[in-house]
Structure 1
């Protein structure tokens, strides 16, 4: 038998702000990585490796 739970979280105002900030930062990093890969593809270069891409994005930030 499989057990399933259903619940909902109700964050406070401060938690909502923190979650929005965290998800906003994650979205920016994802879009920057996507843009770097698209630029590499359009220039005919190989895709940057994940580690190299992380280093590049961290230094740009």
Structure 2
């Protein structure tokens, strides 16, 4: 039995207020990711072991 992968492309047209909210959300997510990555790198440098989530 073969599995078929499908994708759907959707284009959105946010207004100015929605665009600001999307940019804030993505910015916060990126900030948190970078902080956690820095913590993981620092832990590895100290302990020489991978930090598990």
The TM-score with structure 1 as length reference comes to: 0.65
Higher helix share: 1
Runs of 4+ in 1 over 2 A off after TM superposition: 3-7, 45-50
Q: Which runs of 5+ in 2 are unaligned?
A: 1-5
Q: Which runs of 5+ in 1 are unaligned?
A: 51-61
RMSD over aligned Cα, in angstroms? 2.1
Question: What is the total number of aligned residue pairs between the two structures?
Answer: 48
* Cα deviation code 1:16-61 (max 9, x no counterpart): 00000000000000000000000000002544442xxxxxxxxxxx
